[in-house]
Structure 1
């Protein structure tokens, strides 16, 4: 069994009017991410939605000083983008689909993701979502440090920083030993 981890593919990060949007770069991923999600579910593999959830009034959270308010708990900004939202709502009770509210860049930081993957004897994780050079990168680094095999779907990741995006793709391959597909 393997896992697909969808990181922050939400309205705020992808929609043109999102509060911290990758805009067109993120929107181009839609069909590939949706198809990949369907493929993993149909194969009976584990699918995780690791989604930022913030409180702009939390004065202790460092991200509130670095970025404008985004993915605020209880707002449409946290909704999955496009048809992925409908797909999730239709399949959210399937035991192979899991939603994680995350507070930090990495899907592993402060969550039970590692425990859930190990319970299922998952050793290979596939990463998609945004931003390539922030949340996807930090998740990949933690996965590497925890001993997972990492697969990055190049048509499934994007950033609002094209240079950071390209740098992260090289880093995944050359430093983390990730397979880029």
Structure 2
């Protein structure tokens, strides 16, 4: 029996990608839009799962550690939290597809405080492919948790972006040399 795989598209929203996003990675993040959407379509077409964990914040939340670190971003019910570019249309077109799941996350990792690990285990998924933004923040923390939970990890470097080229270089090296991930 073939095991299903999952594509995890981390935080690909207007606030992180659009020119006028509140915490944008800008042109590098915009340049991966077509690749992310193509991967989503590829995974969906072969019957695999696509998960879209998406940062969610409340303005001025004194209890959330990011409030002190970053400007307000990805606030609930805002344009900034909507998916960016062609991914928005792809997600809308797959509304109701049981194998495409968007869900909120409140920490860098897509696993922290979410049902992602449970969903993957219920579906007998042992291999995850991770893409999105930011390579050295939320993608990195998601990959670390995936490693700690025992998943095989593939990072698509042509579908990841961040604010800081040095951070990206560090993360891509860390995925391979410390987490044993396959970096494509």
TM class by smaller structure: over 0.9
Q: TM-score with structure 1 length normalisation?
A: 0.99
**2:11 paired with 1:4:** no
Runs of 4+ aligned residues of structure 1 deviating over 3 Å after TM superposition are: none
Give the superposition deviation at 1:164: 0.3
Counterpart check, 1:150 vs 2:153: yes
List gaps (5 residues or longer) in structure 2.
none
Residue 57 of structure 1: how far off its partner (Å): 2.5
Q: Tell me which residue corresponds to 1:122.
A: 125
Q: Matched residues in 2 for 1:92 and 1:161: separation?
A: 34
The counterpart of 1:100, out of the listed 68, 89, 103, is 103
The separation in 1 between residues aligned to 2:90 and 2:25, in whole angstroms, is 22
Equivalent residue for 2:24?
21
Secondary structure of the residue aligned to 1:125 is strand
Q: Distance in 1 between matches of 2:7 and 2:65?
A: 28
1:165 is the counterpart of 2:168: yes
**In the aligned structure 2, how far is the partner of 1:54 from the partner of 1:159?**
19
What is the root-mean-square deviation of aligned Cα atoms in Å? 0.5
Aligned residue for 2:119, secondary structure, equals: helix
Verify: 1:60 aligned to 2:44, yes or no. no
The number of aligned residues is: 181
Match status 1:72 vs 2:83: no
Q: Distance in 2 between matches of 1:172 and 1:132?
A: 10
Following superposition, the deviation at residue 92 of structure 1 comes to: 2.1
CA drift at 1:100: 1.4
Q: CA deviation at 1:111?
A: 0.2
